[in-house]
Amino acid sequence: MTTQDAHARAQNTADAASTANTADATHTTGAIGSHKGYLDGPRADIRVPVRRVHLTNGQDVTLYDTSGPYTDPAVETDVRRGLAPLRENWIIQRGDTAEYTGREPRPEDDGLKHTSPRGGTLRGRGEEGDLRGLDAVFPGRPRQPRRAREGLSVTQLAYAKRGEITPEMEYVALRESLAPEYVRDEIAAGRAVLPANVNHPESEPMVIGKNFLVKVNANIGNSAVTSSIEEEVEKMTWATRWGADTVMDLSTGRNIHTTREWVLRNSPVPIGTVPLYQALEKVDGKAEELSWEVYKDTVVEQCEQGVDYMTVHAGVLLRYVPLTARRKTGIVSRGGSIMAAWCLAHHQESFLYEHFSELCEILRAYDVTFSLGDGLRPGSIADANDTAQMAELDTLGELNRIAKAHDVQTMIEGPGHVPMHKIKENVDRQQEICEEAPFYTLGPLTTDIAPAYDHITSGIGAAMIGWWGTAMLCYVTPKEHLGLPDRDDVKTGVITYKIAAHAADLAKGHPGAQHWDDALSDARFEFRWEDQFNLALDPDTARAYHDATLPAEPAKTAHFCSMCGPKFCSMKISQEIREQHGATMDEVEAGMAEKSKEFAAAGNRVYLPLAD
Amino acid sequence: MTTQDAHARAQNTADAASTANTADATHTTGAIGSHKGYLDGPRADIRVPVRRVHLTNGQDVTLYDTSGPYTDPAVETDVRRGLAPLRENWIIQRGDTAEYTGREPRPEDDGLKHTSPRGGTLRGRGEEGDLRGLDAVFPGRPRQPRRAREGLSVTQLAYAKRGEITPEMEYVALRESLAPEYVRDEIAAGRAVLPANVNHPESEPMVIGKNFLVKVNANIGNSAVTSSIEEEVEKMTWATRWGADTVMDLSTGRNIHTTREWVLRNSPVPIGTVPLYQALEKVDGKAEELSWEVYKDTVVEQCEQGVDYMTVHAGVLLRYVPLTARRKTGIVSRGGSIMAAWCLAHHQESFLYEHFSELCEILRAYDVTFSLGDGLRPGSIADANDTAQMAELDTLGELNRIAKAHDVQTMIEGPGHVPMHKIKENVDRQQEICEEAPFYTLGPLTTDIAPAYDHITSGIGAAMIGWWGTAMLCYVTPKEHLGLPDRDDVKTGVITYKIAAHAADLAKGHPGAQHWDDALSDARFEFRWEDQFNLALDPDTARAYHDATLPAEPAKTAHFCSMCGPKFCSMKISQEIREQHGATMDEVEAGMAEKSKEFAAAGNRVYLPLAD
């Protein structure tokens, strides 16, 4: 425990329940049902944030924390200045990177200086005023981009292969309660990635791999139709508050560059993107006008900004496109459909595939992690596990080997829509073909019939695929297939996927998982309602639901709730049985007859007065 | 197609989309995104209701329908008169039952004439006025109860064993698209139940068994703390509207008898109860004052009213109670904890176990189905699959054999809280020990950490256990562990469980399952938005979510949505690729080079004008 932590503890223990209760349920600052704590690392500048839930019985429960400095009352945050560059010294001290004069930002990076060739009334706010992007330029401190010195590999994979344990690895080892050497091994083997662009020093290191806690990604991003920069930054903070381990910025409208800058400078978690989306904006939405040059320019632009991982749909080969012709829902990956259109228009092999080695060289210079996209993932139950999907997976296996040879960290994306009985085959094949590289799946959705509830149709598949070895789950919100998620949808999506991830951790037998369930169940059995709320994945909603029927303060200590009422509370009866019949099996078994007499002598009181 | 159906069709086809859209999202009458239809059976009085979704492309999709006459505009319903006694003639024509003068209702059936021995301020509305129960007596037509003539077995199991195919079996065969003989076989073997009390002729026959569609139960019921009779009837109608196959009335406060009468007379689905709850009310909440006599009186009372299945916690034996002493959350089944308290207080074996054969005789006389309760089910991840739970399961296996020998239909209840990797063992053991009797599980919840989201923690487990052979899933609402579900919670719970059940049907490869997913995915790929909404499990919410960002009417025919906007809609690009490159694999493969030239000649137009 750090001094600051101890101090905070001393101040807060007494009134834990009440202070934990004060944060407004819509704020993005202030801890939720808990207090910010830090685990001290082997060096002073390694301090791993945790959520500490101070229980009313005096115990502490320590939980993984993705919410960044926003939940630390000792840190003042300002979205216009960005977060402190936590990792900057580690990166500088390695001495293998250098600052340089980066690519000059250009108006087209934000989709400006283009007149839309198409009419139509459905334009987003971003498209209305061409000056908006320039007005919104991130006002924080300027920073020159940094990249590897000529010929050097500056990736966590390269360090791990060389046997070096970086501060980032120390950090995640502490965060996951594992030995640093184990973390290094997993990264060196390509079984785990630690996405950490040298130009995103604000990020708190985290690791993605099947032998670690299952991670959750939340997507944000404005589209051409709706939403703004401020909303996206807010969504990022909101998503990490509820547990998102990484965030992908999938913006496709105007102001892509500027939105991303704001998001990166304020993000405590790794940020992922799909560079193809911005590249397509640069050629005014005409897929056939895409080229390696435009794409490469976009990748460099994003590497310099600090994007930590990039989805690259390099597995969509020309010869695979016809395999989708008989599908029920064709190609449902945006990137996949764009590349398919390009391949057919030119009747050429994908420029992403052709230039993949060159792309590796670029990503290596910044330690950007590949997320090899599954451009041919199934978009319906009917299309699951088909020839097109499996053909692409073979190519992703080939690309994974090339990337690893270039010291570039790599994960592999997966489906999509898959019925339950076809899920396991996806992980098993991916793990075999891609040499256990981390699998990163979207859901999968286990049925197509429930638009507006696809967080649930996919949460089912996500939990299962996580159990079977998927390392990170990409969330799905209730608005999937229907519209752009708002703040509430983001929260619902993240919470649903944290449930799936934790259920998977339990099923995998992760040693750091069940203590949370146990602490909550203890609180439930002992009617410590405040502890039950504060330990909940979403304390605000748990408390609100309880209070909806029993709002009065005495109900927070009552030995029942409105669900069953006082006479039918099984927990209460069970607790009384235990109190009156002995706490241990031996006592109960040995003294059963005796205890029964005592119970009768005590007036057979199964129900205590309400007031107790 | 019946004449009436054809008539309705002729009237409605033209304006299908608009009329389907008119029902108020909060109403309990009027069809949702569909039209009521009927499948004609082998005799005129067998007409199986279905939801017919008339698509804008002229096709029809037929879906299973649990909503009863409330969604048939040709039927006038009146909650004060109850539903028509659909099965009455079938029951009478069998000639093996007779009306008799039933047990006289007594004030204590509604928990009246008791002065509560305990003080306290947390009393429900029902407890305030003792006259309320009498005022609320169901005003519908009086009906004498009916039971088997002396010595006869009048259960669907007895008929099935004798080789008789009843109209009820014909009905469910049509409903499940299976041969009547197959239904009879499954029931005769005890692998399926058809809950149908002779005193609940209003119910539409349905079947529960692993070789049929997975079913969903919704719980309703007032508690001592909150809610009213009207609310419970409304919740029942609301739950069946969204797909509940059966409803359990778990009322525990005052007016239990009267509430149940209203629910039964208006319910198109089988109604289940836990008679122990009412029996406990009759002895003023003192578990040790329960007796076989009070319990038996309550069972007869409920048999006469028409309860279709009853949860009986006869497997909680005296010697099993100490096995729960070391548990994290003790006994979490209400019935289980009540019986455990009774056993310990008297230091006697459970009166339910001791009198089980006598109970079988009673249930057989009305064709009430046993739902053998798992009183020792785990209430936390820590307690899953423990000795107590498995010991009780052995006893349930014994009781199942006794019930079957008495010709009483039987299903077996299951957990509870179980991590994913321990779920399959539950079904496998239950199926082995209970000779494949239908398994009926509560969830299971796959983690304890998410109060307020336990519909999701349990929906995950429900889908999996359904896939592995559970026949009916008992829903869990967002209020589980926190309070009494309201109308919105009931809907969320039912929809979540319909997702789980359907995902299970897909995974089991049920031949009647995937056509629904396919129809919805076709509509999605072809941008038939209205069809997509109407085919959704919840058309109202799907439409509302779409309209939240793109409310204008043209957006209902747009080839994109606000999620990705027009340029990034993969479905649109994919569809255009298909249109321009040939619809079949052969064409595309054979003519790839040719098609590429054509594509270029057509101006490489991947994006069509917005106005198209």
DSSP characters for B427-469? HHHHHHHTTTPPEEEE--BS-SS-TT-HHHHHHHHHHHHHHTT
State the Cα–Cα distance between residues B510 and B536, nearest whole angstrom. Answer: 19
Q: Find the closest chain B residue to A276 by CA distance.
A: B568
The answer for residues whose C-beta is within 8 angstroms of residue B114's C-beta and 6 or more apart is B108, B284
Dihedral sign, CA of A177, A182, A183, A189?
A: negative
Asked if the Cβ–Cβ distance from A382 to B331 is below 8 Å, we say no
Mean pLDDT of A495-512: 97
Query: Which residues, in sequence order, are bridge partners of residue A442?
Result: A474
Asked if the Cβ–Cβ distance from B483 to A536 is below 8 Å, we say no
Annotated binding site of A for [4Fe-4S] cluster: 561, 564, 569
Residues in chain B: 612
| Coarse DSSP helix, strand, coil percentages of chain B, rounded to the nearest 5 percent | 45, 10, 45
What is the predicted pLDDT for the residue at B289?
A: 96
Q: Which residues in chain A have their CB less than 8 angstroms from residue B225's CB?
A: 549-550, 562, 565-566
| DSSP one-letter code for A245 | S
The answer for residues whose C-beta is within 8 angstroms of residue A193's C-beta and 6 or more apart is A156, A157, A187, A207, A208, A209, A309, A369, A409, A410, A411, A438
What is the predicted pLDDT for the residue at A210?
A: 98
User: CB neighbours (10 Å) of residue B387?
Assistant: 14
Q: Are A463 and B464 in contact (CB under 8 A)?
A: no
Query: Taking 60 as the threshold, does the pLDDT of residue A133 lie above it?
Result: no
Asked if the Cβ–Cβ distance from B542 to A452 is below 8 Å, we say yes
Report strand pairing: A309-312 vs A410-414: unpaired
The residue of B339, B380, B448, B608 whose CB has the most chain A CBs within 10 angstroms, and thus the best one to mutate to test that interface, is B448
The answer for residues whose C-beta is within 8 angstroms of residue B128's C-beta and 6 or more apart is none
Q: Are A414 and A440 in contact (CB under 8 A)?
A: yes
pLDDT band of residue B117 (cuts 50, 70, 90) is very low
Give per-residue pLDDT as tens, A263-321: 999 999 999 999 999 999 999 999 999 999 999 999 999 999 999 999 999 999 999 99
Report the range of poorest mean pLDDT among A321-325, A349-353, A573-577: A573-577
Q: Which residue carries 């009198």 as its tokens?
A: B355
Dihedral sign, CA of B342, B343, B344, B348?
A: positive
Classify burial at B473, counting beta carbons within 10 Å of its beta carbon; exposed 0-12, middle 13-18, buried 19 or more.
Answer: buried
What is the predicted pLDDT for the residue at B549?
A: 78
ipTM of the complex: 0.89
What is the predicted pLDDT for the residue at A408?
A: 98
pLDDT band of residue B517 (cuts 50, 70, 90) is very high
The answer for residues whose C-beta is within 8 angstroms of residue A146's C-beta and 6 or more apart is A91, A97, A98, A99, A100, A198, A199, A366
What's the one-letter identity of residue A201?
Answer: P
pLDDT band of residue B20 (cuts 50, 70, 90) is very low
Element (H, E) at B233: helix B229-241
Q: Are A157 and A409 in contact (CB under 8 A)?
A: yes
With H, G, I as helix, E, B as strand and everything else as coil, classify residue A437: coil
What is the predicted pLDDT for the residue at B120?
A: 29
Report strand pairing: B309-312 vs B271-273: parallel
Query: Taking 60 as the threshold, does the pLDDT of residue B217 lie above it?
Result: yes
State the Cα–Cα distance between residues A328 and B212, nearest whole angstrom. Answer: 27
CA distances from B577 to A343, A366, B593 (A): 11, 36, 14
CA nearest to B156, candidates B139, B169, B144, B146 = B169
Taking all residues of chain A, what is their mean pLDDT, rounded to a whole number? 86
Report the range of poorest mean pLDDT among A24-38, B36-50, B263-277: A24-38
Helix boundaries (H) for B509-584: 514-525, 529-535, 539-549, 570-581
What is the predicted pLDDT for the residue at B32?
A: 78
Of A571 and A89, more confident: A89
Query: Taking 80 as the threshold, does the pLDDT of residue B553 lie above it?
Result: no
Asked if the Cβ–Cβ distance from A549 to B584 is below 8 Å, we say no
Closest CB from A478, A480, A573 relative to B341: A573
Q: Which residues in chain A have their CB less than 8 angstroms from residue B544's CB?
A: 452
Q: Which residues in chain B have their CB less than 8 angstroms from residue A273's CB?
A: none
Closest CB from B459, B546, B577 relative to A344: B577
CA nearest to B41, candidates B176, B188, B213 = B176
pLDDT band of residue B104 (cuts 50, 70, 90) is confident
Mean pLDDT of B223-244: 82
Say what percent of chain A tops pLDDT 90.
71
Backbone angles phi, psi at B540, to 5 degrees: -60, -50
Say what percent of chain B tops pLDDT 70.
83
Asked if the Cβ–Cβ distance from A460 to B419 is below 8 Å, we say no
Asked if the Cβ–Cβ distance from A324 to B574 is below 8 Å, we say yes
Q: Are A222 and A252 in contact (CB under 8 A)?
A: yes
Query: Taking 50 as the threshold, does the pLDDT of residue A608 lie above it?
Result: no
Q: Are A344 and B594 in contact (CB under 8 A)?
A: no
Mean pLDDT of A42-61: 95
Mean pLDDT of B77-105: 94
Q: Which residue carries 């496109």 as its tokens?
A: A321
What is the predicted pLDDT for the residue at B187?
A: 98
Mean pLDDT of B323-350: 93
Nearest-Cα distance to chain B for A477, in Å, is 11
A187: left (phi over 0), alpha (psi -120 to 50) or beta: alpha
- Spell out where A227-276 has E strands: 246-249, 271-273
Query: Which residues, in sequence order, are bridge partners of residue A218?
Result: A247
The residue of A281, A291, A343, A568 whose CB has the most chain B CBs within 10 angstroms, and thus the best one to mutate to test that interface, is A568
Count of CB pairs separated by less than 8 Å, A with B: 491
What is the predicted pLDDT for the residue at B561?
A: 65
Quote the tokens at residue B461. 């487990």
Nearest-Cα distance to chain B for A410, in Å, is 25
CA distances from A1 to A5, A50, A62, A169 (A): 6, 11, 12, 20
What is the predicted pLDDT for the residue at A25?
A: 59
CA nearest to A384, candidates A433, A445, A325 = A445
Asked if the Cβ–Cβ distance from B564 to A509 is below 8 Å, we say no
What's the one-letter identity of residue A479?
Answer: K
Mean pLDDT of B310-337: 94
Element (H, E) at B471: none
CA distances from A363 to A77, A196, A281, A357, A359 (A): 30, 11, 22, 10, 6
Asked if the Cβ–Cβ distance from B381 to A285 is below 8 Å, we say no
Asked if the Cβ–Cβ distance from A456 to B456 is below 8 Å, we say yes
Q: Which residue carries 């990956």 as its tokens?
A: A333
Query: Which residues, in sequence order, are bridge partners of residue A48?
Result: A39
What is the predicted pLDDT for the residue at B451?
A: 97
Asked if the Cβ–Cβ distance from A450 to B536 is below 8 Å, we say yes
Mean pLDDT of A569-591: 65
Helix axes A592-601 and B334-346, enclosed angle (nearest 10): 90
Closest CB from B287, B516, B576 relative to A449: B516
Q: Which residues in chain A have their CB less than 8 angstroms from residue B533's CB?
A: 451
Dihedral sign, CA of B321, B327, B333, B338?
A: positive
Cis ω on the peptide bond leading into residue B512 (within 30° of 0)?
A: no
Chain centre to alpha carbon of residue A556: 33
Mean pLDDT of B289-302: 98
Query: Taking 90 as the threshold, does the pLDDT of residue A555 lie above it?
Result: no
Query: Taking 80 as the threshold, does the pLDDT of residue B134 lie above it?
Result: no
State the Cα–Cα distance between residues B138 and B132, nearest whole angstrom. Answer: 12
What is the predicted pLDDT for the residue at B11?
A: 38
CA dihedral A474, A477, A482, A487 (to 10 degrees): -120
Asked if the Cβ–Cβ distance from B118 to A506 is below 8 Å, we say no
The answer for residues whose C-beta is within 8 angstroms of residue A3's C-beta and 6 or more apart is none
What is the predicted pLDDT for the residue at B80?
A: 86
Taking all residues of chain B, what is their mean pLDDT, rounded to a whole number? 86
The residue of B283, B329, B383, B482 whose CB has the most chain A CBs within 10 angstroms, and thus the best one to mutate to test that interface, is B482
| DSSP one-letter code for A215 | E
Q: Which residues in chain B have their CB less than 8 angstroms from residue A377's CB?
A: none
Quote the tokens at residue B68. 């009863």
Closest CB from B452, B587, B606 relative to A536: B452
What is the predicted pLDDT for the residue at B143?
A: 80
Quote the tokens at residue B579. 């249109």
Asked if the Cβ–Cβ distance from B345 to A599 is below 8 Å, we say yes
Give per-residue pLDDT as tens, A54-73: 999 999 999 999 999 999 99
Element (H, E) at A48: strand A47-54
Report strand pairing: B472-474 vs A47-54: unpaired
Element (H, E) at B606: none
Report the range of poorest mean pLDDT among A26-40, A159-173, B392-406: A26-40
What is the predicted pLDDT for the residue at B154?
A: 98
What is the predicted pLDDT for the residue at A136?
A: 63
State the Cα–Cα distance between residues B183 and B208, nearest whole angstrom. Answer: 10
What is the predicted pLDDT for the residue at B394?
A: 98
Report strand pairing: B47-54 vs B35-40: antiparallel
Closest CB from A532, A562, A567 relative to B226: A562
Closest CB from B330, B332, B338 relative to A578: B330
Asked if the Cβ–Cβ distance from A518 to B596 is below 8 Å, we say no
Report strand pairing: A215-220 vs A472-474: parallel
What is the predicted pLDDT for the residue at A398?
A: 98
Cis ω on the peptide bond leading into residue A554 (within 30° of 0)?
A: no
A504: left (phi over 0), alpha (psi -120 to 50) or beta: alpha
pTM for the whole thing?
Answer: 0.90
Classify burial at A293, counting beta carbons within 10 Å of its beta carbon; exposed 0-12, middle 13-18, buried 19 or more.
Answer: exposed
State the Cα–Cα distance between residues B543 and B547, nearest whole angstrom. Answer: 6
Q: Which residues in chain B have their CB less than 8 angstroms from residue A541's CB?
A: 452-453
pLDDT band of residue A112 (cuts 50, 70, 90) is confident
Mean pLDDT of B340-352: 94
Of A51 and B142, more confident: A51
What is the predicted pLDDT for the residue at B31?
A: 72
Residues in chain A: 612
